[in-house]
């Protein structure tokens, strides 16, 4: 299993390599970045099963898993090394991994932010380092 920082770096590498084929696969892509096995069928189910939930996105360390309520499957993204930004599938471009502001999902998709956590699919992620402040 990878640390949160390693998972964020993996998402960054995939974005730089223009990895595609991730449309609608946010949970799968994120859990592969963390090197966590499959367990739940959707991001919203993974969130509902999470016990350690936080609601203030400003307190999320690099690699934390952020969740949104949208449609029946929800959405998950990984905290980037920059405050207020996450690595995500399908944003800003469908079927690719990109880095966007946390509020992008509310503005573009009408998604409701649920919170962040240090565990996905019942596996605790080693977090610690806080993202750099916006320049």
Architecture of the domain made up of 4-124: Alpha-Beta Complex (3.90)
- Whether the CB-CB separation of 75 and 87 falls below 8 Å is answered with no
Domain ranges in the chain are 4-124
Q: How confident is the model at residue 135 (pLDDT cuts 50, 70, 90)?
A: low
- Per-residue pLDDT tens for 13-26? 999 999 999 999 99
* Residues 105-125, mean pLDDT to the nearest whole number: 97
| pLDDT reported for residue 128 | 80
Residue 86's pLDDT is what?
A: 98
Measured N-to-C along each axis, helices 26-34 and 4-16 cross at an angle, to the nearest 10 degrees, of: 120
Per-residue pLDDT tens over the stretch 77-105: 999 999 999 999 999 999 999 999 999 99
- What is the SS3 assignment for 117? strand
CA dist list (Å): 7 to 32, 62, 99, 106: 8, 9, 14, 24
What's the token pair of residue 34?
């963390």
Is-above-0.85 flag for pTM?
yes
């Amino acid at each position: 299993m990878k640390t949160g920082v390693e998972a964020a770096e993996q998402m960054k590498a995939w974005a730089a390599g223009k990895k595609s084929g991730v449309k609608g696969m946010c949970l799968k892509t994120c859990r592969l970045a963390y090197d966590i096995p499959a367990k739940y069928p959707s991001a919203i189910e993974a969130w509902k099963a999470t016990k350690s939930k936080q609601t203030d996105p400003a307190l999320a360390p690099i690699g934390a898993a952020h969740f949104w309520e949208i449609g029946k499957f929800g959405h998950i993204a990984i905290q980037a090394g920059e405050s207020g930004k996450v690595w995500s599938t399908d944003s800003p471009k469908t079927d690719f991994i990109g880095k966007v502001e946390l509020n992008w999902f509310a503005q573009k998709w009408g998604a409701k932010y649920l919170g962040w956590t240090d565990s996905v699919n019942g596996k605790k992620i080693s977090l610690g380092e806080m993202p750099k402040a916006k320049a």
